[in-house]
Amino acid sequence: MCLRDKSDSMNTAEKEEKNNSKLKGKVVVITGASSGIGKAVALSLAKHQPKLVIFARREKKLMQIARTLKEQGIKLLPIVGDIRNRDDREKLIDSTLKVFGSIDVLINNAGLGKANLFLEQPEEEIDELIETNFLSLVKLTQKTVQIMKEQQSGHIVNLSTSLVMLPAYPFAVYNSTKSAIMTFGDSIRKEMKDYGISVSTVFPGPYNTNFHEVAHCGIDKFKVYDVTKLANKIVKLLLKPKDNLIQPWFFSVYSCLSKRSNRFRKKVSIEIGDSILRAKKLAENELKIEKEQIKREKVQIIAQ
Ligand SMILES: NC(=O)c1ccc[n+]([C@@H]2O[C@H](COP(=O)([O-])OP(=O)(O)OC[C@H]3O[C@@H](n4cnc5c(N)ncnc54)[C@H](OP(=O)(O)O)[C@@H]3O)[C@@H](O)[C@H]2O)c1
């Protein structure tokens, strides 16, 4: 028993070393790395010693992460930019090639959701969702796979959402951009395979990131999962590419049920939609109460 344990642990150590060397020195580009999933993946990747390119708009947040990674001896290139901006996307690719000479992995993670009824959604919000989540991803991917084609290797990882299986109604435009990402990945996979490029789609459930705050549906109103666990799974996906990664794992059951039964899909989607709207209303009420409280405090201070 003891002997077996020892050999098992040796195997694990050997496996880990082999896995570590797989990503060592590889150039991994992560968009939307200033918070949430992108940040967690960057930190989780550190032990594999890749060359990391991290990209987002919020410079201060990006530099904080850059400092943490630098302390761990990671070769790093932080780039501040807006994924919707063509010049910024070009800067991302050109600077990466200039500094590191290749792009081995692109993690298309930058994105956002906005919980809103379709009838009430402002046009600018629709533009922002489609441009950020889908259009920019397609354009950045096209430039990147041209480089990967020359290398005859590469891996594209696209962030979709588990909501594509259960399309909750207050996220109509968001869900559509994420379904488009899934279809895009499925459509280019064969063409990319011929050049040694893998394409993966990640379908996360709800995780503890800024997503819910940005989407105006308050994170404390949902059960959310640990983003570090998701990040570790994404790192495993880089070590062993596969077409789809659904997380947490039991969301695969929802995926199966949703494909098999339209009744299930409709019922659960509506239930999730209702709970998102409730959460949004609660978050709005809390904000209103908070604003009124600040106003009262101001009046009191002035009156004193
Ligand atoms: N958390 C979840 O529950 C969940 C579930 C399913 C799917 N997802 C997907 O996972 C991805 C990451 O989201 P998250 O949960 O980690 O949320 P998050 O904490 O809000 O992170 C979003 C990231 O995207 C970046 N970003 C947004 N717009 C950008 C733009 N125009 N240009 C460059 N970067 C931009 C943000 O950086 P800056 O603001 O600094 O630019 C940030 O780093 C998204 O695509 C989201 O749809 C999340």
Q: Which residues line ligand 1 (CB under 6 A)?
A: 31-38, 56-58, 61, 82-84, 109-113, 132, 159, 161, 204, 206-207, 209-211, 214
Atom of ligand 1 nearest to the CA of 174: 47
pLDDT of amino acid 9: 55
Q: What does DSSP say about strands 27-31 and 75-80: parallel, antiparallel, or unpaired?
A: unpaired
**Residue 221 in this model has a pLDDT that exceeds 90:** no
CA distance 206 to 212: 9
Instruction: Copy the structure tokens of residue 160.
Output: 């979709």
The C-alpha R_g of the chain, in whole angstroms, comes to 21
Segment holding 297, helix H or strand E? helix 262-303
CA distance 287 to 18: 50
- CATH code of the domain occupying 2-303: 3.40.50.720
First to last CA, the chain: 76
Average pLDDT over residues 252-275: 95
Among the options 174, 207, 225, 254, which is catalytic?
A: 174
pLDDT of amino acid 180: 98
- In one-letter notation, the amino acid at residue 253 is V
pLDDT of amino acid 17: 65
Q: How far is the CA of 296 from the centre of ligand 1 (A)?
A: 35
Whose alpha carbon is nearest atom 8 of ligand 1? 161
Ligand 1 pocket: which of 64, 80, 109 to mutate (most atoms within 8 A of CB): 109
Q: In angstroms, what CA-CA distances link 189 with 34, 156, 163, 177, 199?
A: 28, 10, 22, 18, 6
DSSP secondary-structure letter at 294?
H
Q: How far is the CA of 144 from the centre of ligand 1 (A)?
A: 20
pTM comes to: 0.92
Segment holding 79, helix H or strand E? strand 75-80
pLDDT digits (tens, 9 = 90+) for 62-119: 999 999 999 999 999 999 999 999 999 999 999 999 999 999 999 999 999 999 999 9
Higher pLDDT, 299 or 24: 24
pLDDT digits (tens, 9 = 90+) for 164-184: 999 999 999 999 999 999 999
pLDDT of amino acid 151: 97
Instruction: Copy the structure tokens of residue 162.
Output: 């588990």
Atom of ligand 1 nearest to the CA of 57: 41
CA distance 133 to 151: 27
Q: What are phi and psi of 125, to 5 degrees?
A: -70, -40
pLDDT digits (tens, 9 = 90+) for 15-39: 666 666 799 999 999 999 999 999 9
pLDDT digits (tens, 9 = 90+) for 112-169: 999 999 999 999 999 999 999 999 999 999 999 999 999 999 999 999 999 999 999 9
Average pLDDT over residues 205-219: 89
CA distance 262 to 144: 37
Q: In angstroms, what CA-CA distances link 254 with 113, 258, 261?
A: 21, 6, 10
CB 133 within 8 A of CB 173: no
Q: How far is the CA of 211 from the centre of ligand 1 (A)?
A: 6
pLDDT of amino acid 137: 98
Q: How far is the CA of 47 from the centre of ligand 1 (A)?
A: 23
Q: Cβ of 127: how many Cβ atoms within 10 Å?
A: 13
Look up 195 and say whether it is catalytic. no
DSSP secondary-structure letter at 110?
-
Band (294; pLDDT cuts 50, 70, 90): confident
**179 SS3 class:** helix
**Residue 2 in this model has a pLDDT that exceeds 50:** no
Band (58; pLDDT cuts 50, 70, 90): very high
pLDDT of amino acid 240: 97
**158 SS3 class:** strand
pLDDT of amino acid 217: 85
Q: How far is the CA of 147 from the centre of ligand 1 (A)?
A: 25
**Residue 7 in this model has a pLDDT that exceeds 50:** no
pLDDT of amino acid 19: 66
CA distance 29 to 62: 14
Ligand 1 pocket: which of 209, 212, 219, 255 to mutate (most atoms within 8 A of CB): 209
CA distance 81 to 88: 5
